[in-house]
């Protein structure tokens, strides 16, 4: 923790105090490297208002049921310093001032808490249900301790026909409902377009279709089992979610993965980034009918997937990050093979990007499509390539580095233009950065153990972690019960923050450009719905 972090946190505390919000900065805090600031529930909204004025980014909210009371946590970030606000609520009638009036990103996560814990948020601008469809009723709350994981009613779940979508009046406005089952091989979700002619007037996302109770079924698991579950929060981000969960559990247990394991985790995560960026660049080409790009980038991706299988035993690298370390190793021969693939990929990328760049029909479709302004991206706290294509610079690897990135130098790719083309370029640059990081990690890899022996954490031990997935920042909170069992797991995928950006950036585009706009953001449905 640098002086700079302490300064911005103490400045915020000071401002809160002067506005009459009682605060207590816990020292030492239970969630390093984040600081924990306990505040009065009554000051929850005021705290958001002041933090917003002080340019803190809102990163997430979660709660836990401790039977006698509920704890609510909100995570803020400013120049790489994480601050977690915590407030205690009565378990009987939990209510809290909403932070959504000040932070756009807080809107849906607070509605998630409303559905899952029964917390009432005062002054919430849109208190409709969010995660809840028809699988449980309004009066029951799955993440409360008295709610059985098996559910209350085994009957068939009825379709969710009664969600109050925004309606438009007027002769020339028409609605286009899309989903949950989409036309391609993609995840389910519902989009409700209001269009005039071909132009999108309004888009409303309705997610939650793949809600499979991840937070609830995490309860009672042991660390290995939780790491497996975390690896399935979003299949395309398996490495990063497993990494975040393991890091949080290791911090709760008070142990560090060995330095070599940290480098290997970095290698796995960068490979995941390379593969996903390759795939999405190809898919963007496909969405504008440029089959050549789709097949070429798909080919490069498949080569790397096969290499994953050959070197690490799994194409998507599932279950390779385990509590305490990693389940794979890279020896000199493997390192050499990876370097050869990197060199080969660079050569191919040089060729392909020139072809893409010279193609005027791509330019026509990508440039100016799906524009997200810097102001909107800042207001939302947009993450990953979505934020970095719209003037944001935040990257956990650089701003709040964790092992091994503390020892690596990297330049974060950034663009200002905010359109589909910018997001594609940022991803291309990130791909190149990842290739260099991979080489640096292979060269600088320390020798030593792959695993630190697991130590059973104390009852009530908690841990927090932030890692940079290919989509952007992933957050994780865990709490242990007795006997090495998890009592609370909260993962926050970058998609949770980025999904609302799509609703805005598609406005004014034509409906047929929605697929390419959507792909340029590529939110995870599973990572959002949990």
Partner 1 sequence: MLQLYGKIFKTGVLTEKTPKKPREIDETLEAMGRSLKAVVDKRFQGSLAIRQVDAGSCNGCELEIHALNNVFYDVERFGVHFVASPRHADVLLVTGPVSRHMEAALRRTYEATADPKWVVAVGDCGVCGGEFGVSYASCGAVSNVIPVDLAIPGCPPTPLMLLQGLLTLCGRF
Q: Does 229 contact partner 1 by CB under 8 A?
A: yes
Rounded to whole angstroms, the Cα distance separating 476 from 232 reads: 14
Q: Which of 57, 124, 211, 492 binds partner 1 (CB under 8 A)?
A: 211
Closest CB 308 distance from partner 1, rounded Å? 11
Residues 6 or more apart whose CB falls under 8 angstroms from that of 199 comprise 508, 509, 510, 511
Q: Does 525 contact partner 1 by CB under 8 A?
A: yes
Q: Does 165 contact partner 1 by CB under 8 A?
A: no
Q: Which of residues 311-330 bind partner 1 (CB under 8 A)?
A: 315-316, 318
Q: Does 476 contact partner 1 by CB under 8 A?
A: no
Q: Which of 160, 204, 222, 439 binds partner 1 (CB under 8 A)?
A: 160
Rounded to whole angstroms, the Cα distance separating 461 from 450 reads: 24
Stretch touching partner 1 by CB under 8 A, among 214-222, 421-429, 434-442, 448-456: 214-222
C-beta of 44 vs 294, nearer to partner 1: 294
What tokens appear for 460 in the block? Answer: 């009530």
Binding-residue pattern over the window 244 to 283 for partner 1, x denoting contact by CB under 8 A: -----------------------------------x----
β-strands 472-480, 486-492 pairing: antiparallel
Q: Does 341 contact partner 1 by CB under 8 A?
A: no
Total residues binding partner 1 (CB under 8 A): 67
C-beta of 6 vs 181, nearer to partner 1: 181
Q: Which of 110, 187, 419, 493 binds partner 1 (CB under 8 A)?
A: 187
C-beta of 78 vs 190, nearer to partner 1: 190
Q: Which of 212, 347, 411, 455 binds partner 1 (CB under 8 A)?
A: 212
C-beta of 174 vs 295, nearer to partner 1: 295
Residues 6 or more apart whose CB falls under 8 angstroms from that of 526 comprise 187, 210, 212, 233, 234, 235
Q: Which of residues 139-158 bind partner 1 (CB under 8 A)?
A: 142, 147-152, 156-158
176 φ/ψ sector (left φ>0, alpha ψ -120 to 50, else beta): beta
The torsion defined by the Cα of 262, 268, 269 and 273, in degrees rounded to 10, comes to: 160
Q: Does 346 contact partner 1 by CB under 8 A?
A: no
C-beta of 104 vs 525, nearer to partner 1: 525
Cα-to-chain-centroid distance, residue 218: 18
Contact between 189 and 525 (Cβ < 8 Å): yes
C-beta of 99 vs 238, nearer to partner 1: 238
Q: Which of residues 89-148 bind partner 1 (CB under 8 A)?
A: 133-136, 142, 147-148
What tokens appear for 62 in the block? Answer: 């979660």
Q: Which of 46, 112, 216, 271 binds partner 1 (CB under 8 A)?
A: 216
Burial class (CB in 10 A: 0-12, 13-18, 19+), 171: exposed
Contact between 467 and 244 (Cβ < 8 Å): yes
Cα-to-chain-centroid distance, residue 7: 27
Q: How does 47-63 read in b/e, with b if 16+ C-beta sit within 10 Å?
A: bbbbbbeeebbbbbbbb
Alpha carbon distance, N-terminus to C-terminus of the chain: 32
Q: Does 176 contact partner 1 by CB under 8 A?
A: no
Closest CB 179 distance from partner 1, rounded Å? 9
Contact between 124 and 100 (Cβ < 8 Å): yes
Three-state secondary structure of 455-475: CCCCCCCEEEEEEEECCEEEE
Closest CB 190 distance from partner 1, rounded Å? 9
Q: Does 220 contact partner 1 by CB under 8 A?
A: no
Binding-residue pattern over the window 290 to 309 for partner 1, x denoting contact by CB under 8 A: --x--xx-xx-xxx-xx--x
Contact between 30 and 36 (Cβ < 8 Å): yes
C-beta of 219 vs 395, nearer to partner 1: 219
Residues that bind partner 1 (CB under 8 A): 133-136, 142, 147-152, 156-160, 180-181, 183-188, 208-214, 216-217, 228-229, 232-236, 238, 279, 292, 295-296, 298-299, 301-303, 305-306, 309-310, 315-316, 318, 351-352, 354-355, 358-359, 524-526, 529
């Amino acid at each position: 923790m640098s002086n700079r972090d302490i300064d911005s946190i103490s400045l915020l505390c000071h401002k809160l105090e002067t506005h009459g919000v009682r605060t207590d900065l816990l020292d030492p805090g239970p969630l390093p490297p984040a600081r924990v600031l306990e505040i009065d529930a009554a000051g929850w909204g005021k705290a958001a208002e002041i933090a917003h004025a002080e340019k803190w980014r809102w990163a997430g909210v979660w709660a836990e049921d401790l039977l006698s009371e509920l704890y609510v946590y909100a995570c803020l970030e400013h120049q790489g310093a994480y601050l977690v606000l915590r407030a205690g609520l009565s378990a009987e009638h939990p209510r809290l001032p909403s932070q959504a009036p000040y932070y756009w990103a807080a809107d849906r996560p607070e509605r998630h808490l409303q559905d899952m814990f029964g917390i009432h948020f005062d002054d919430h601008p849109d208190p409709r249900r969010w995660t809840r469809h028809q699988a449980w009723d309004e009066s029951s709350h799955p993440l409360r301790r008295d709610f059985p994981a098996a559910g209350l009613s085994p009957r068939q779940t009825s379709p969710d026909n009664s969600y109050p979508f925004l309606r438009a009046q007027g002769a020339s406005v028409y609605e286009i409902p899309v989903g949950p089952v989409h036309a391609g091989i993609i995840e389910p979700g519902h989009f409700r377009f209001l269009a005039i002619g071909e132009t999108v007037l309004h888009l409303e996302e309705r997610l939650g279709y793949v809600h499979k109770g991840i937070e609830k079924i995490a309860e009672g698991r042991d660390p290995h089992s939780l790491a497996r579950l975390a690896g399935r929060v979003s299949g395309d981000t398996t490495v990063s979610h497993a990494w975040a969960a393991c890091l949080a559990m290791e911090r709760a247990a008070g142990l560090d993965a060995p330095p070599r394991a940290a480098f290997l985790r970095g290698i796995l995560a960068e490979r995941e980034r390379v593969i996903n960026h390759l795939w999405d660049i190809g898919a963007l080409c496909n969405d504008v009918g440029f089959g050549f790009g789709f097949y070429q980038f798909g080919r490069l991706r498949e080569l790397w997937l096969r290499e994953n299988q050959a070197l690490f035993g799994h194409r998507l690298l599932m279950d390779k990050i385990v509590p305490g370390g990693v389940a794979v190793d890279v020896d000199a021969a493997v390192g050499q093979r990876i370097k050869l693939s990197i060199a080969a990929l660079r050569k191919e990328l040089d060729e392909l990007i020139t072809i893409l760049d010279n193609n005027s029909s791509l330019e026509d479709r990508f440039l100016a499509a799906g524009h997200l302004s810097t102001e909107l991206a800042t207001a939302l706290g947009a993450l990953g390539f979505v934020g970095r294509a719209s003037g944001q610079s935040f990257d956990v690897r650089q701003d709040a580095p964790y092992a091994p990135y503390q020892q690596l130098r990297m330049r974060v790719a950034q663009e200002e233009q905010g359109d589909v083309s910018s997001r594609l370029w940022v991803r291309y640059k990130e791909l190149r950065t990842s290739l260099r990081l991979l080489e640096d990690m292979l060269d600088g890899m320390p020798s030593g153990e792959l695993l630190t022996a697991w130590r059973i954490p104390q009852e009530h031990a908690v841990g927090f972690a932030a890692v940079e997935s290919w989509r952007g920042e992933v957050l994780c909170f865990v709490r242990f019960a007795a006997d090495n069992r998890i009592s609370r797991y909260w993962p926050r995928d970058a998609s949770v923050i980025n999904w609302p950006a799509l609703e805005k950036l598609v406005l004014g585009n034509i409906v047929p450009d929605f697929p390419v706009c959507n792909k340029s953001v590529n939110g995870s449905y599973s990572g959002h719905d949990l």
